[in-house]
Structure 1
Amino acid sequence: MDSAKKPLVLIVDDERDIADMLKSYFEMSGYLATVALDGAQALEKARCSPDVILLDVGLPDIDGFSVCRMLRDVHACPIIFLTARVEDADAIDGFSAGADDYVTKPFSLEVLGARVKAQLARGERMKRVSAVRVDDVLSIDYAAMAVYVEGAQVPLARKEYEICTLLSKHAGQVFDRDMIYERVWGTSGDSAVVTEHVRRLRRALAKAGAEKDYVKTVWGVGYTWQG
């Protein structure tokens, strides 16, 4: 495997022996691998944009479900939980937090490796078939959770991308801030947060070279998408 194209695996587990074992296994399997021993380290090392994250639920500082939710605010890569918990409710919590898969301990390294490979392959397949071209400048890949301007990916936080998705899929429909918050955050809350995320979305698109303002403000009401 070409080193320039090796996928990066972020391993988050507070048991050093397990973390080191996984790191060695994935490096021998042709991946790059890095280790975080707690939730704070995981959030820090995730800034390197891993291609897949293996996340233990039982971390010493922040529980894995909370870490997953925080990661999902900014990362769309596959997240696979590694845990000794086997109750259905725990699996549901994991998927609700944004996990893509759930592997219980003890596990086979070969099976885990196959799960990682399958998640990465699925992502590549969906990237190839799901891009929607908005116009000659902008395209959105809904499956890969990516926005492109002139073919270059625009760096967006997860919530900014989700606002972009909501508005672009309903072009011409006006959403007030409360409605956007409920749709994107899944609950009610401070709608002023929406204003800030829209501002960041617009700034990111403009910085990437989009001259058109795709997100139009409807004064006194909210926002709408103009394609």
Structure 2
Amino acid sequence: MLQSANDRFIACVNYGIEEAGRCIMATILMIDDDRPILELVKNGLEKDGHSVTIHTSAAHVPLEGLNGYDLIILDIMMPDMDGFTYCGKIRSLVDCPILFLTAKTMERDITSGLGLGADDYLTKPFRIAELRARVHAHLRREQRERHVSLTFDRIKIDLSAKELLVDNIPVPLTKSEYLICEYLAGNRGQVFSKKQIYEAVFPFYGYGDGSTISTHIKNIRSKFEEAGVQPIVTVWGIGYKWEQR
């Protein structure tokens, strides 16, 4: 029987994480006011060897010690303090990936959420295998090493410091925005689909989320416009490319 794209994706995830044994053990914080979802995710991630701390309210999570987490998962709609507010509050305190969980009806609001420094999002209801894969992908991304720099006219990308500068002034990109720029710039002139970009930046075997890339590109272009450059070009019907020389 033919598998759907999502089933193939999950099969790849299970092979990559369980069979290949490449899962990166991490300390994870999850905040969601829905206790059953917390328990479901905790159980799923602990199968991969992660240590998961759960809270039903962001207001009750102490700020000290946050930098001890390797990844944070935030629900957006919470009564005491919503995920957007909490992300904006802690982004300067932590350097780890932040993933949002959002209702389908709030998907159009995710642009502002990613602009606050979140790296990715999943819409509810979601499959636990997909969340496991997203977590695995972001943790793998954190371990990659970078060296030297790329220079394009007024733009410099410091691959070691993970920083993009225009006229030697840093552009305030989030981590995911930076990595998209690094990937496109490192393959200057080549056109990549949103799916290809997602799988390169968040590599988890065989499935890419184009809506996340569209949102990140929109935010990147807004910041580039303020800096007076615009190196990312849309190739209609195909994807994006870096055109700066």
Q: TM-score, normalised by structure 2?
A: 0.51
* Equivalent residue, structure 2, for 1:113: 132
What SS does the aligned partner of 1:111 have? Answer: helix
* Equivalent residue, structure 1, for 2:35: 16
Aligned: 1:102 with 2:121: yes
Residue identity in the other structure for 1:105: K
* Equivalent residue, structure 2, for 1:129: 146
- Looking at structure 1, the residues matched to 111 and 127 of structure 2 have their Cα atoms a distance apart, in angstroms, of 22
* Offset at residue 88 of structure 1 (A): 4.4
Task: Give structure 1 regions of 4+ aligned residues with deviation exceeding 2 angstroms.
Answer: 41-48, 85-89, 140-143
* Equivalent residue, structure 2, for 1:63: 82
Q: Is the 8 A contact 1:94 1:102 kept in 2?
A: no
- Looking at structure 2, the residues matched to 41 and 85 of structure 1 have their Cα atoms a distance apart, in angstroms, of 26
* Offset at residue 35 of structure 1 (A): 0.6
Residue identity over aligned pairs, in percent, reads 34
| Unmatched runs of 5 consecutive residues or more in structure 2 | 1-17, 19-23, 150-158, 173-245
Q: Is the 8 A contact 1:39 1:67 kept in 2?
A: yes
Q: Is the 8 A contact 2:30 2:73 kept in 1?
A: yes
- Looking at structure 2, the residues matched to 83 and 46 of structure 1 have their Cα atoms a distance apart, in angstroms, of 25
* Equivalent residue, structure 2, for 1:34: 53
Alignment map for 1:83-102 (pairs within 5 Å): 83-102=102-121
- 1:128-173 deviation line (CA, Å, top 9, x unaligned): 11478xxxxxxx9423x8xxxxxxxxxxxxxxxxxxx98xx94xx8
| Unmatched runs of 5 consecutive residues or more in structure 1 | 133-139, 146-164, 174-179, 185-227
Q: TM-score, normalised by structure 1?
A: 0.54
